[in-house]
Structure 1
Amino acid sequence: MRYLFLFILFVGFQKTFAQKLDGEILDQLSREPVGLVQISTEKLQITSDENGIFSIEIDGVKNIIFSKTGYEELVLGVNDIIIENSKFIVELSSNTIDSDLESGIISLSDFDLSDDANSSDFASGQLSAYNDVFQSIAAYQFGIARFRQRGYDSRNNLVLMNGLELNKLYDGRPQWSNWGGLNDVLRNREYTKGLEVGNSNFGSINGSTNFILRTSEYQKGLRVSYSSTNTSYTNRILATYSGSIKGDWHYTVSASRRWAEEGHFQGTFYDANSFFLSLEKIMNDFHSLNFVAIYAKNRRGKSSPNTQEVYDLTSENYNSYWGWQGGKKRNSRVKNLNEPIFILSHNWDLNERANLKTSLLYQFGSMGNSRLNYSGGPNPDPSYYRKLPSYYLRNYSERADLSDYALLKFTSQSNYNQLDWNFMYQSNMLSNENKRSVYMLYEDRVDDDLLQLNSVMNYDLNDNFDFSLGVNAKKLISNNFAYSLDMLGGDYYVDTDSYRSGDQAQNDLNNPDRVIGENDKFKYNFIVRSLNLSAFSNITYTNNKYSLFISPKYSYRSLQRDGQFRNGVYPENSFGKGEKKEFYSLSGKAGIEYRITGRHIININGAYVDRPPTIRNSFSNSRENHNFVNNLDTEKIYSLEGSYSMNVKPIKLNLTGYYTKFQNMTEISFFFAQGLSGLEESSDFVSEIMSGTQRDHYGLEFGAESNITSTIKLSSGVAFGEYVYTENPNLYLT
């Protein structure tokens, strides 16, 4: 089984002449009693004892509601209760997951945990898969390569820890590697799907996952595990210990290491170490204080995207980013992540009906992606288009010998189709007397400093009304720059742009023709400052037949660029503080759940989301100037979904229809282009900006599963979706 369901068994139910229901509540996996379960009807509310024993009057009652923290609320119609052999079994899905089983968390490889868009989409899908029939099929059977649920990316899935939002302000996506490998301590979570609103957050349009990091709720004891795979990393060892000491102190320590000499793609390596520490002091029956530290250092070699021609000439696991050096494979594209997280949380039970949860987060560190830089020398990429046979067939069709020669070199010379590190070292050492580097290795660095505060109050007004109110504040200082790593045998590098001339070639006019060595900032250097404030509320009305909710949200975001270099192309618009943009937005959600019976449920939810743009989609070319995208404004999202769920043994199914309209979106792509003015020699790095983009997403999702035996399950899933651009966007290059 790929994900964890906790079930509750109601054993020994007996209907007496007094219309009383007696039973015992058990956990199906552990067979241990589940105590202190709240049981309510239209007439009264009781709580089972610590051993799970209960007795409740059901005379004149239509529905019975079972609820407990960590479990999905279950509503049973009295007429649906069928007692066979003095036993009545009810399945209750849990809000917690356990890494004992193959859940979405434990099955994530490094590829899934990377910051690439598709990988984040995949991880988000798997984390929400355990609790929905269709989503589980989509995450595990359909797979990332062929299917993206509802056509959404991971920006539309919200990930939190103790109510604190972890989606990056840069692009709106979660950075999974920041907590990768810590499966044992990420087992507890609150989950919402689709347009639902959670107790701790407004959510998004495709659900949310809130990891609960309270060490007092962890299972006590020592746990050690080892696993091996043939994906991105081949070995993983994980150890976790959780305990308590006098004075109501609880602590948890967890550490893991994941590594591989080489993954599926040639020249890719993996080296990740993760550490987790949590201390919790339960001060009294009303207050507890919890501290969490997470440190996950991750370093891995990347694999190259390739054209079909390159695959045909080599193999499906070919990677152009590496080459031999000193008898070892050296990868030029390495991602290095080092962003520790510190969280301090206070839980305050105001009374039996109200609680206040407040958390403070501080995160700092760096994320770097290395690459080769060349100035005055040929492109070192072995799969560069001018080195392929197709280039000569296209441009020198009368010279078949040239394409044949290119084919021969690419396929027969073992070092020709990989990076030639020796050539780059020799070029730097022999090109001139001063050993000025023609080739060098550097990384694109982002050093973030994030402070975040989140506070949520939940208040049960009465047996029918629940109220939640939450506020969130985030302050980000993000330093972006190029950082020199290795001169590759040379002594220095001159910080100029080889594709330009004169003053325009200067990356920093304040320091023209600046000479740099290793471990220096160069090329570009700027800071983005962002302040984000938001507040949401949620009012829910529930009775035995239906539930209603309405949730508004207000948010504010400011963005400002502070250039540290005066760029030669934009001397008056690159240095110092630029324009400050501010965005104000108001969003809302509403929904209804109608329970035909406890086993047949209909949900209808709608949302209007006014979403501020991300940092990535706000600046037209932040590495060179202060310019914002033309007519930049908030994105508008309209979404509606309806679903029918059935859970009648042995069949469980979901049928969902959805429609979402995205308006006023901005999409930016960065690439190197040749022939911009119609000439081969005209080359530059450009930003392609599409603004005013509109898309419609609509479709149907169907999932069904049936337990044939206790070990055999049949499942089926069908998805139909249309995701179309409905307006011609405004497109321009910078």
Structure 2
Amino acid sequence: MKLRIKAIFIALVSLYSLNIYGQGSVEGIVTDDATGESLIGVNIVYAPGKGVVSDMNGYYSINLKDGNYTLTISYVGYVTQTKKVSIVKNKNVTLDIQLATVTLGEVEVVGDLARTRETPVAFSQISPLQIEEKLASQDIPMILNSTPGVYATQQGGGDGDARINIRGFSQRNVAVMIDGLPVNDMENGWVYWSNWFGLDAVTQTIQIQRGLGASKLALPSIGGTMNIITAGISQKRKIKIKQEVGSDGYLRSSVGYTSGKLKGGWGVTAAGSYKRGNGWADRTFTEGWFYYVKVDKKFGKNIISFTAMGAPQEHGQRRYTKPIATYDSTYAREQGVTKAPSEYFASNYIDPAKMVNKGLRYNSDWGKYTDANGTEIILNDKKNYYFKPLYTIRHFWAASDKFYLSNIAYLSLGNGGGTSLKKSVQPRYITDDGQINLQDYYDINIANFDPAFPDEPKSYQYMRSNINNHNWVGLLSTFNYKINNEFTFSGGIDLRRYVGTHYEEVYNLLGGTYTLDSRNANRDPNTQLRKGDKINYHNDAIVEWA
């Protein structure tokens, strides 16, 4: 009996000794090397089929026996790393890991991406995880509000109407690029995010450079540069299906596929998305489609890519600013506004006092009427509809470690416009609810007969659309030659030709069958103008850069 107890005691001591002296651990935090944010779900593998993943705080811990190990750290959208560690007896090793995002060579060249500790410019990098967790149904710029020096706003709340400021400069002075291609409007410098609503489905990373920086392109980048990098042949194979459901009738369905590098050097990335919703602000509805196709072919030191993308859409808008008291008179008083509610609006409103405290969702830019058939029709005064497909062909040649050449030819075709009532809305045509009284306009139109055309009602008020179509072609060619570690010689060609076609057309006659317009000296002022006919102005804008 004593021998058995002694044997058990020796065994327990041996096991305890093995635990104390033969096992240790390696632990640490995994972060993005550009933003410093912790990364969730990173794979840390120390043997085939054995490893752990980082937790919500980017933390990981692995218990290991004595010995030498090679850790493989991998995460979608980031460069895979290997780290060697040695465990001796009860030694605990702390190993923090910083992962760098993956970028294609040709994107790095054309987009002039900054690199940590290499590029003398302030910049921030948005990782795929941040996009996945924080963007949701917002416009892309809204994810950047936590970035130093950046302010983004939804403006009136219309889907796709976001604006971004960097270091106090408006979007006109911020260069926005998609895979290194400039997308700022060639005439006014604006970027209309409604044209790119589905890009998050294929975005690999977003880089924000704050302030002026060296660039091979002709860019209006006094405030900074925003470059959206999409997935491609360098990514791992992935299929993604996503269904989003939100408040106010919001629904979005998305599907995406990235093949990674296939046999023969081919790679395919494709995505599609559909969205609709009623909007948070009144009548800021949205509906749109998005498609994206990218085909890569790698041979030798060359990569050729073809990309096609577009997002036909339409959405209601809330355009004009209102006094604070329109939404909340109590808040207005707290901000030092001293006017009484009835003093904000002219006395010829139906009831000026009812034009205050409408709530934050209030939108004045819509109305409704009942037609002769008894059908109620609701119309937005301000509605945007547009389709701007973009097609590119790229060639990238990495001749050596010192020299590379990139060429991109692209075509952008824009069609669409924005609606509004032809005549300014006078206070007497505002209802007690603060909406446009389209019923009054409709009733006037159907009873308005011009002696010259006694058989048809003439529209006194009607809706117009300001059309802004364009054809935009361009060629970007850049090269880079590294002379030595201190000097690099680079240059490029940025050729663009933009033809914008602008005109106003009849959009909705609100019960009438025609209208007249006397402002065109080349047309008889008594010409009946119907839906789709051009009115007021019609001109072309030609912009050429070289």
After TM superposition, is the score higher than 0.5?
Answer: yes
Q: 1:279 to 1:269 in 2, by over 3 A?
A: same
Count of matched residue positions in the alignment of Structure 1 and Structure 2: 420
Match of 1:476 among 488, 495, 498: 498
Question: SS of the counterpart of 2:202?
Answer: helix
1:98 is aligned to: 128
1:234 is aligned to: 250
Q: Given residue 493 of structure 1, which amino acid in structure 2 is its aligned partner?
A: T
1: CA distance, partners of 2:210 / 2:275 = 31
2: CA distance, partners of 1:327 / 1:491 = 19
2: CA distance, partners of 1:221 / 1:477 = 39
How far did 1:342 drift?
Answer: 0.6
How far did 1:189 drift?
Answer: 4.8
2:80 is aligned to: 34
Contact 2:169 2:222 in 1 (8 A): no
Contact 1:214 1:280 in 2 (8 A): no
Match of 1:340 among 370, 389, 392: 389
Contact 2:79 2:101 in 1 (8 A): no
Match of 1:449 among 471, 481, 488: 471
Listed as ranges, the gaps of 5+ residues in structure 2 are 1-30, 47-67, 86-97, 104-112, 328-355, 370-374
Q: 1:421 to 1:218 in 2, by over 3 A?
A: farther
Alpha-carbon deviations, 1:593-613, whole Å to 9, x = none?
xxxxxxxxxxxxxxxxxxxxx
How far did 1:183 drift?
Answer: 0.7
| Residue identity (%) | 20
Contact 1:66 1:75 in 2 (8 A): no
2:364 is aligned to: 320
RMSD (Å), alpha carbons: 4.1
Contact 1:353 1:459 in 2 (8 A): yes
Alpha-carbon deviations, 1:125-180, whole Å to 9, x = none?
854x67x6x347x669xxx9999553211122211123321111121122222221
Contact 1:320 1:418 in 2 (8 A): yes
1:514 is aligned to: 527
1:206 aligns with 2:236: no
Q: Given residue 530 of structure 2, which amino acid in structure 1 is its aligned partner?
A: G
2:437 is aligned to: 420
2: CA distance, partners of 1:289 / 1:257 = 29
- The correspondence of residues 443-592 of structure 1 with structure 2, limited to 5 A, is 443-496=465-518, 506-533=519-546
Q: Given residue 193 of structure 2, which amino acid in structure 1 is its aligned partner?
A: W
2: CA distance, partners of 1:68 / 1:31 = 6
Question: SS of the counterpart of 1:359?
Answer: strand
Contact 1:459 1:466 in 2 (8 A): yes
Q: Which moved more, 1:246-255 or 1:315-324?
A: 315-324
Listed as ranges, the gaps of 5+ residues in structure 1 are 13-21, 36-50, 55-64, 77-92, 114-122, 389-409, 497-505, 534-734
How far did 1:483 drift?
Answer: 1.4
1:617 is aligned to: none
1:277 is aligned to: 293
2: CA distance, partners of 1:33 / 1:249 = 20
Q: 1:66 to 1:196 in 2, by over 3 A?
A: farther
Alpha-carbon deviations, 1:378-406, whole Å to 9, x = none?
x6x3xx44678xxxxxxxxxxxxxxxxxx
2: CA distance, partners of 1:33 / 1:351 = 21
1: CA distance, partners of 2:539 / 2:149 = 41
Q: 1:189 to 1:285 in 2, by over 3 A?
A: farther
- The correspondence of residues 540-689 of structure 1 with structure 2, limited to 5 A, is none
1:288 is aligned to: 303
How far did 1:479 drift?
Answer: 0.5
Question: SS of the counterpart of 2:499?
Answer: strand
1:372 aligns with 2:372: no
Question: SS of the counterpart of 2:492?
Answer: strand
Contact 2:206 2:228 in 1 (8 A): yes
How far did 1:360 drift?
Answer: 1.1
Contact 2:429 2:437 in 1 (8 A): no
2:196 is aligned to: 179
How far did 1:101 drift?
Answer: 4.2
Q: 1:196 to 1:423 in 2, by over 3 A?
A: same
1: CA distance, partners of 2:213 / 2:77 = 32
TM-score (norm 1): 0.51
2: CA distance, partners of 1:139 / 1:421 = 34
How far did 1:516 drift?
Answer: 1.3
1: CA distance, partners of 2:284 / 2:208 = 34
1: CA distance, partners of 2:143 / 2:419 = 29
2: CA distance, partners of 1:153 / 1:75 = 28
Q: 1:290 to 1:6 in 2, by over 3 A?
A: farther
- The correspondence of residues 158-177 of structure 1 with structure 2, limited to 5 A, is 158-177=175-194
2: CA distance, partners of 1:25 / 1:444 = 60
Q: 1:192 to 1:468 in 2, by over 3 A?
A: farther
2: CA distance, partners of 1:276 / 1:66 = 28
2: CA distance, partners of 1:420 / 1:386 = 9
2: CA distance, partners of 1:193 / 1:348 = 29
1:266 is aligned to: 282
Contact 1:225 1:238 in 2 (8 A): yes
1:253 aligns with 2:302: no
2:401 is aligned to: 352
TM-score (norm 2): 0.67
2: CA distance, partners of 1:333 / 1:270 = 13
How far did 1:459 drift?
Answer: 1.8
1: CA distance, partners of 2:114 / 2:84 = 20
Alpha-carbon deviations, 1:572-623, whole Å to 9, x = none?
xxxxxxxxxxxxxxxxxxxxxxxxxxxxxxxxxxxxxxxxxxxxxxxxxxxx
Q: 1:297 to 1:529 in 2, by over 3 A?
A: same
Question: SS of the counterpart of 1:151?
Answer: coil
Q: Given residue 479 of structure 1, which amino acid in structure 2 is its aligned partner?
A: T
1: CA distance, partners of 2:357 / 2:45 = 65
1: CA distance, partners of 2:409 / 2:397 = 15
Q: 1:290 to 1:482 in 2, by over 3 A?
A: same
Question: SS of the counterpart of 2:312?
Answer: strand
